Amino acid sequence: MTTLDESTSTSQSIAGRVAEVRANYRSGTTRPLDWRRRQLQAMVRMLKENEAEFQAALANDLGKPVAEGYISDIAFVVSEVKLMLKNLERWNKPRRVGTPLVAMPSRSRLVPEPLGVVLVIAPWNYPIQLLLVPAAGAIAAGNAVIMKPSEVSSATSGVLARLVDKYFDRSAIALVEGGVPETTELLDQHFDHIFYTGNGSVGRVVMAAAAKNLTPVTLELGGKSPVIVDDSANIEVAARRIAWGKWLNSGQTCVAPDYVLVDRKVESRFIDALHAAISEFYGDNPQTSESYGRIVSDRHFDRLTSMLGDGSVAIGGQHDAADRYIAPTVLVDVRHDSRIMAEEIFGPILPIIPVASVDEAITFVTERPHPLALYVFSERKAVVDRVVSRTTAGGVTVNGTLLHLTNPNLPFGGVGESGMGGYHGESSVRLFQHRKPVLSRGTRIDPKIAYPPYTEKKLKLFRKIL
């Protein structure tokens, strides 16, 4: 069994590392369920035994509160991996399927097999969860894995690089650090599946690179996830749940509410309720709150503050470049053709768009690219059903935000420009497998009717049974 060099700073070492991982995959290293089980157990140990170090890195990169870091980047991964461990044998077991008369005497089954060597490219906003959950699915499916964390969340990337080498089988699981040059070099290698989470612009680059080798891709992108607030909604509850989903991780969440389409009859009440929720969560000065994070970089800070002029500030608006702090902010009087309504915000700014009816809100949503998530708040089942049936989104939470992605029985992913492919739970394992069809025939009976010469009598029989 070969081992891997520590350094991945040159293209030669990246190519060599991928080649060694592939050689070990071909040797059968990753196939046994026991190997997969040991790697998944190691992932859980790594997170639990080094939680304090991970938390410090998350705070360094994102100012992430300890509770947020635990829920979203530690406990989430541990929960997913434990579910995979519990079901590892069942999810990898061949399954019998029916066989038509024309193929008799035969038996048919689907045999799950790994794809090969998988590349997982993760973003900076949830740098542990969005790297390890897809990697865990690939491992559970029997693949070798190359992980590429984001260089933007550099502190977390450094901790992961050191600990992945320590806890996992380095012959078949590797981590490559670096920025655009290293990612570009990785994409020049041949993989059997590429899993990318990030923005659509880079997603197109990833897909173009994958096309050179006809490599299948999963793209977890983003988009402008809308919220529809009907006039029947419980306004106070809606405001709290929207505020939580929006300002978690300072709005740097791919499924964060991007804008709110609120019935104008309740717009004023809704904004007041949002203000109350922000004060309840973060106090009168969120900059001093231990529950509120920071913008990841100066570049993202500048991009977000440049959007503040796209509407009138109803709540918040304060910002501090030295602290990379932007207050929870609500904008009103937002032009539909403004930049903030054209780009995914990915920050703590929430535009409010009043509408005359749910039908107007549905039209607003359907005239734009399909979002990664959609949220609807209403006490009327008919309204909820209308929104769900007439809109298209990667996923939906009714009378809540974000929570559809916490259910491992619901595949998480986008549609159209918000992505392709879904994962979590069993879907994570299925994503990285080929379910190989196998038909086995007996030899004791060999009906001659299937063979030439094809007589008129045989043709009449074919017409009856086929």
Side-chain half-sphere exposure of 322, counting CA atoms within 13 A: 0
The C-alpha atoms of residue 125 and residue 153 are separated, in whole angstroms, by: 8
Cis peptide before 105 (omega within 30 of 0): yes
Non-local (6+) Cβ contacts of 124 within 8 A are 61, 62, 150, 152, 153, 296
Helix (H) or strand (E) holding 355: strand 349-355
Round to whole Å and give the CA distance between 462 and 466: 6
Segments of 150-211 assigned E as strands = 173-175, 193-197
By the 8 A CB rule, do 331 and 311 touch? yes
- Alpha carbon distance 393, 67 (integer Å): 29
Please state, in angstroms and rounded to a whole number, the distance separating the CA atoms of residues 146 and 121.
9
The contacts of residue 100 (CB under 8 Å, 6+ apart) are none
Q: Active-site residues: which are they?
A: 220, 254
Strand partners, 398: 376
